[in-house]
C-alpha cells in the first residue's frame, strides 16, 4: 500500500500512491512543479469531526482500500492527464487509522493556465472519490459506527 510511482521524464503523472504514513502537502506540491505551468491547483481533504447534521461527533476513522485501488487511482489520473493539458499531476490518499485533522487525500495538477488547472484538479478529486475503491469506517461519540462507500 505504500507504493509510489516515480516520475518518468515527459510523463505528467509524477506521484500516484496510497499510503499508511501521514501525507505531505509540500511533497505533492513539489511533485507537480513544472516551468511550463502557469497554474497549479492543489486540493487537500482532511478528516473532520462530524459527518452529517444532527449526528454525534466522529471520534475515530479508518480507510481501507481494495488491493487494486492504487491501479484504479493511476487510471483515473491518466484519464485526467489525457483530457486536460496537464503538465504534471500528483494524487496521494491515506489508508489506515486517521485522527480528526489528519490529511486524508492530497491532489495537485499543473497546467499552462489556471482555469485548466482548476478544472483538471476538480475532475481528479471527483473521479477519485467516485471510482477508486477506498472505504471509510467511522466511529461516533455515541459508539455507533458506519461504513461509507468509495471516498
| pLDDT score of 149 | 79
Name the more confident of 9 and 43.
43
- What is the domain partition of the chain in residue ranges? 13-148
Any idea which residue has 507537480 for its cell?
32
- Residue 8 cell numbers, joined: 518518468
* 80: number of Cβ within 10 Å: 26
User: E strands within 4-57?
Assistant: 13-19, 39-46
pLDDT digits (tens, 9 = 90+) for 49-106: 888 778 899 988 999 999 999 999 999 999 999 999 999 999 999 999 999 999 999 9
* CATH superfamily membership of 13-148: Molybdopterin biosynthesis MoaE subunit (3.90.1170.40)
Strand partners, 92: 17, 106
Q: Is the confidence at residue 34, as pLDDT, over 90? A: yes
| pLDDT score of 51 | 84
Mean pLDDT of the chain: 92
Q: Is the confidence at residue 8, as pLDDT, over 70? A: no
DSSP strand pairing (88-94 vs 13-19): parallel
Amino acid at each position: 500500500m505504500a507504493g509510489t510511482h516515480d516520475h518518468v521524464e515527459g510523463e505528467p503523472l509524477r506521484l500516484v500512491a496510497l499510503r499508511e504514513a501521514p501525507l505531505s502537502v509540500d511533497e505533492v506540491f513539489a511533485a507537480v512543479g513544472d516551468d511550463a505551468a502557469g497554474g497549479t491547483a492543489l486540493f487537500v481533504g482532511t478528516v473532520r469531526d462530524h459527518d452529517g447534521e444532527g449526528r454525534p461527533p466522529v471520534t475515530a476513522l479508518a480507510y481501507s482500500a481494495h488491493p487494486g485501488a492504487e491501479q484504479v487511482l493511476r487510471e483515473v489520473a491518466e484519464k485526467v492527464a489525457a483530457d486536460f493539458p496537464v503538465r504534471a499531476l500528483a494524487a496521494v490518499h491515506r489508508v489506515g487509522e486517521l485522527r480528526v485533522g489528519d490529511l486524508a487525500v492530497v491532489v495537485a495538477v499543473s497546467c499552462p493556465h489556471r482555469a485548466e488547472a482548476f478544472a483538471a484538479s476538480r475532475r481528479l478529486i471527483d473521479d477519485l472519490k467516485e471510482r477508486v475503491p477506498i472505504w471509510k469506517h467511522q466511529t461516533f461519540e455515541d459508539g455507533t459506527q458506519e461504513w461509507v462507500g468509495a471516498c
